Structure 1
Amino acid sequence: MDEEILELNDDQETIRYRLINEISKENETLAYYLKEIFNICTNPNRDIRIEVYKKILNDLKFGSIEREKLLEYYAKIMDLERRVRKFVNAKIYNEKIENPNSTATADRFEYVFFRMKDENVPEEKVTEFFNQNAYAIFSLTMHPTNPTSTDYTIHGGIQFDKYLENHIDYEEHLHLLEYLTLVGQKKTVQQEVKETIAIIDIIYETSTKVRDELIEALKQTPSYEKLIDVNRPLIQVSIWAAGDGDGNENADVYALKQAVLQLKQRIKQLYLNDIKKLSYDQKKIIQDKLINN
């Protein structure tokens, strides 16, 4: 556990100081203040912490552009550290799943099927268990009062997550993050839908990977292949965007209809992108079904 905590702290500090170093290229003063803030924030003496914070705020006048920039940079660092924590925690958990001595292996298809087979669970119970439990229900809420700008969410935060997931260096992306506006105006219905589509792209990519893992797990237990329908939906997503009339007065029937059309079109496009990888005959059959639906 101590090693895992150290790994988490190291990764958080890495992103923190990489962004501060990027900021220092354009504004050494604000970069210096940020370092001061993070150096003192863990000091157990509250009075010392307050003195440092007061000095920084006194140096930067209330309402000044410099103070606003400092606060925005600080908020961006906090957001990126949160994203790093999420990624590292998932990485640690996945490593536990891969460890055969860990109880977390119960979250793997292979382990569940192996135990069922080993315990001679009746076939009908295997199907019943899978259909009742291998199904995730969740909702997406893109509330218009969320102050994070649409540009930052899509081009900043989500893209940063992808760099982490794919183990790609994010040095150039930090430069973009430095200048992306973090806080935006109250979102329009169109902006809510735009953010939702960006999240749907991630869900689509992830859910197909889970399906692939299920197929591979069944290959290790061939007798279960006829019991488990791999084409059965594994998720059910409820979407609030464009339908939350309490949160956005512009979320009327017309806006909802337009949003549904956009979301359906995006989902179709995701399928069509995958269809391109299939043979011509397979493409034609599936493409006709999607276009005519």
Structure 2
Amino acid sequence: MARKREKGFPPSPDQLPVGVVDNHTHLESIADVLPDGVADPGLLAHLEHGRAVGVDAVVQIGCDLESARWSVQAAAEHPSILAGVAIHPNEAVLHAGVREVAPDGLEPDPAPRHKLSLEVAIAEIADLARADRVRTVGETGLDYFRAGEAGRAAQREAFRAHIALAKELDLPLQIHDRDAHADVLAILAADGPPARTVFHCFSGDAAMARECVARGYFLSFSGTVTFNKSEELRRAAAEAPAEQLLVETDAPYLTPHPYRGRPNAPYLLPLTLATMASVRTEPLEVLCATIRTTSEALYGPW
């Protein structure tokens, strides 16, 4: 008889020796992705569960207008939360009204996917980003996984607007980069990056990591670094200077091995940190302390 596959939240890992920051999480989305029969314990429970294992602060990212508004409010109400706001590159395509040609060659519906234009959406993000506890602009960048050329053009427009906003407000920039490494680096070089630039859920190889490090960028590693086929990511994590490393869950996505496919939340961050410390042959407590210091230097005090 086949063993029933677990689908609920994984068990708690061991407590970290030093408290750390989850550099990138989407707490508002956890309830939306849970399978049938799995209850969401709620925001306060997720924060407390994280604190119990040493994840005592989070950067909550809102990457569309609704979640950006939610993130600003959550940060205002909870001392362990700071917020980031942006229009995600895939959302930028929808605000721009881009309808790519369907794979079967049929013309798609030309109507815009979002009522608000990209310009209006970014203007609201710029207003939200001025709230006191918004400490990063992100996630923004490029996602070429499904976008055609028209969609990519909209993403590049939005990316440049977010870069300008981060520089105007002197906030760190959190970058989403999927299948677009060369263009992301080229746009940053052409426009001039903000003083603090973070590659959220770093997905490049060791060579790209070296390039990013040389430019002064920060690399944030998620549960993907624990996946069986992620040798290049582990090499990148091993080579990067500790002072330019961050760690994140990207919850509720990218749950670390061996619980891939189950719901993710900040309390699972120790699993990713354990892999990072192992590949770096570095004591876990030293890595945690360095990442905590870096996080507070980037975002300020909680």
Tell me whether the two structures share a fold, i.e. TM-score over 0.5: no
* TM-score where L is the length of structure 1: 0.24
Q: Max radius of gyration: which structure?
A: 1
Q: Which has the higher strand share?
A: 2
* TM-score where L is the length of structure 2: 0.23
Q: Which has the higher contact order (CA 8 A, sep 6+)?
A: 2
